[in-house]
Structures are given as structure tokens and as C-alpha cells.
Amino acid sequence: MRVESLRLTCVRNLAPTVLAPSARFNVFSGDNGQGKTNLVEAVFVVATVRSFRTTQLADLVAFSAERAHIAAQVQSHGMTRLYDLELLPGGKKVRLDGKAVRPLSKYFGDFNVVLFAPEDLQIPRGAPVDRRRFLDRAVFNRRNDYLPAMQRYELALKNRNAVLRRAADGGLPPRQVNELLDVYDEQLAELGCAVTSARIAYLGELRPLVQAAFFEITRTGLVADLDYACAGKRGMTEGAPSLDAQRLALREARSKDLARQATSVGPHRDDLLFFLEQHDAGSFASQGQLRAIVLAWKTAELQLLTQLRGDPPILLLDDVSSELDAQRNRFLFEHLAPRAGQCFITTTHPSHVMVPAADRRDYRVSGGSIIQVDPSG
Ligand SMILES: Nc1ncnc2c1ncn2[C@@H]1O[C@H](COP(=O)(O)OP(=O)(O)OP(=O)(O)O)[C@@H](O)[C@H]1O
Ligand SMILES: [Mg+2]
């Protein structure tokens, strides 16, 4: 898969730009605040129709403009398609090959991106809700049926929580409360099992790839590992709770949930665990080691998608190198070189990106202008 051309108009601080990126490593260097992340964001947004920095796509429109336009010509499996997103005062217009896309789901599928953003570094030591979102994004990329399963689960959860609140208000007689909760518990147990087992199955596929990538990137002999925490258990090593166990857990939580007016068990409370030498990575790993774990996850995600689709997705690496020492940077790019397809890499120091000269194209980002440069210059 490859972005053959990228056209940007009025996107954040970026000058109107037309790029023809190389099929391999495209390195964008520049000082802080020049527009490097803005470029990575533009590629991410035209592929996914959402941003990793804001929930308001309108934030991408340049301060001085009313509308922004991002268009990418993408080649995948021998076909070239034009992905086109326009941000207007009233909303957005999404076109594929010049035609409006309805439903929007038709836009997705052949333009896959895997992103590493510096914020991801905080994932192992951040809040469980962010780790769940991080995991869910990877599972969405892996399987098309996961998003609808997750949405059905969230709807059932919302319904159960509404009954818990109405019970507390006295808006429903106790018998009706119990009847409704019986119905929602059954739905939640079934849908929750589907969500949990999709997450655990995904982690089962990813785990050996993460371990191997971490080993290659760090070459310290230290072992990184993952697990999934559900209902007080380690889901990957001890097994996921069965349907009966989920039913029982909801049943047992009912009186506590009625008192708290919220559902206390299920995948919306689970967690993704990262380990370094069997210790919680968030508490014990160094900055550089954390970065290596998250990078190992991202390269594993890339490899898994490549195995499934027969074509590597586009890799966006925003400022990967700043926390890695020179040796670890070299190992990272040695690991990536044979595995990655097209990459967009940003850095403040182009020498940190150690990829073969023949596979690399360099750009300088300065005050929103992006200019191709000779790598030695
Ligand atoms: N909607 C917008 N219109 C115009 N400029 C914007 C808009 N949004 C952000 N900017 C500007 O973009 C610049 C930041 O760009 P960006 O985040 O891409 O920098 P960067 O090169 O990645 O820097 P760093 O190395 O610090 O990560 C800031 O100067 C900011 O004011
Ligand atoms: Mg940046």
C-alpha cells in the first residue's frame, strides 16, 4: 500500500502542498512547532476521517481559512483510488474516487495506517480507559466485526445503567427492576463475552510479535510481555471468564451496582497489562524502555496487518527517536527496514532516523513549508 500523492490546502499551519512521497521511508525533519505533526495528522485524518489530537476535525482548518482540503491518491493491491476529505464551516465532505461515500464505512478497508504518536508512550503508565481505547483501535484495524460488537455492548451497558438509575430514583417498582436487569444481564454477559474474547484472541496473535520486536529493538535480553485483566484474572494466562462466569459476576454485582447506579463488571472495566521482566511496565520501566515497548506493539500491529492483507499498511511514526539512544534507534530501523512498506517519519534530528540511503527521501519542514532536500544537506 502506498500514498502516491498527497495534496493539502489550508491544513493547520501547512502551506498549500503537493507531495509525491517515496514508497519507503519519508523523513520529515524540522524544529519544534514547524508543522511535522500537522503533516502526520493530515495523512491519518484522510485515511480514518478522525484525528488522534482532537475530536473536532474543524481544528485542522487553518486559522486564516474557512475550509481545508486533504486528498490522497493511494495504491493498494494494484488499484489506485482517490481519498478526499474537505472540512467546511458546516461539517465535512468525504469522497472516494470523486463520489460522495454513503455509508461512510465504504471509505475504509483499503487505506490502513498504523500510527505511533508520542502520547502513546504514556499508555503503559496512563489510565485504563486509554489503554482500552488503544487496544480497541488495534482490534478495529484487525477485524471488521469488532466495531459493531463493541457498539452493541455499549448500548446494552447504557440500558442497564439507565435501569440502575431509575431504580434509585424510585421510578421503577423493584419487581420490574429485577426483570429488566435479568434481560440486560443476559445481553451484557453474551456481548461482553464476544468483546472480551475478541480482545484476548487479538492479544494472543500480537503477543509473540511484540515480544520478538521488543527483543530486536532493545537487544538487552529483557523480556516484555502483555496480558489482559478481566474480573480479577489474567485473561491470557488464566483464561477468559466463561459466559456462565460473566452471568454470575453480573448477578453477584447487582446489589452493589444498584447502590452505585453503575455497572461494575465487564469489558468496560477491564485492562491491558504491559510487563517488563514480569513487573508492571508503567511503574518500573524507564522512558526509553516504555517507548520501546509501545514501538514493539506498533511494529507488531504492522506485521499482523501485513500477514492478513498481504500488503503492509502505511506507518506513521511521529517523533519516535527522541527517547531512544543511538543504538536503540539503529536497532529499531534495522527491525523495520525489512518489514515496513511506506513510512512517514518525523524527527527533529534527521540523523536519528537510520535507514538505508537508497530507501529514504528527506524533507525539511519549516514554518509550514515542506521541501524535499538532499539528505546530506
Ligand atoms: N488550525 C491552525 N491554523 C494555523 N496554525 C495552526 C493550527 N493548529 C496548529 N497550528 C500551528 O501549528 C504549529 C504546530 O505544528 P506541529 O504540531 O505540527 O509542530 P511540530 O513540527 O510537530 O513540532 P514538535 O517538534 O514540537 O512536535 C504551531 O505553531 C501551531 O500554532
Ligand atoms: Mg510534533
Number of residues that make up the chain: 377
- The Cα–Cα gap between 334 and 338 comes to 8
Ligand 1 in contact with 35 (CB < 6 A)?
yes
Poorest-pLDDT segment among 59-68, 103-112, 239-248: 103-112
Closest listed ligand to the CA of 36:
1
Own/partner long-range contacts of 51-57 (Cβ < 8 Å, ≥24 apart)? 52/115, 52/117, 52/119, 53/117, 57/87, 57/92
Rounded-to-integer distance, Cα 336 and Cα 359, Å? 12
pLDDT digits (tens, 9 = 90+) for 28-71: 999 999 999 999 999 999 999 999 999 999 999 999 999 999 99
Q: Compute CA 349 distance to the chain's CA centroid, rounded to the nearest angstrom.
A: 25
What confidence tens digit (pLDDT) does each residue in 174-222 have?
999 999 999 999 999 999 999 999 999 999 999 999 999 999 999 999 9
Rounded CA separation 3/74 (Å): 4
Best residue among 37, 52, 70, 353 to mutate for probing ligand 1's pocket (most ligand atoms within 8 Å of CB) is: 37
Domains of the chain by start residue, with CATH: 2-112+313-373 (3.40.50.300), 125-282 (1.20.1050.90)
Ligand 1 atom with the smallest distance to the CA of 31 is 25
pLDDT of residue 375 exceeding 80, the answer is no
List the shell of residues around ion ligand 2, using CB closer than 5 Å.
36-37
Report which bound ligand comes closest to the CA of 348: 1
Residues 6 or more apart in contact with residue 158 via CB below 8 angstroms: none
Give 278 Cα–ligand 1 centroid separation in angstroms. Answer: 39
Q: Which atom of ligand 1 is nearest to the CA of 63?
A: 3
Helix axes 287-309, 326-336, angle to 10 degrees: 10
pLDDT at 237: 87
What is the tens place of the pLDDT at every residue in 316-355? 999 988 778 888 889 989 999 989 999 999 999 999 899 9
Ligand 1 within 6 A of CB of 131 = no
Indicate the top mutation candidate among 9, 10, 12 to test ligand 1's pocket, ranked by most ligand atoms within 8 A of CB: 12
- Does the predicted TM-score (pTM) go above 0.85? yes
Q: Is 130 helix (H, G, I), strand (E, B) or coil?
A: helix
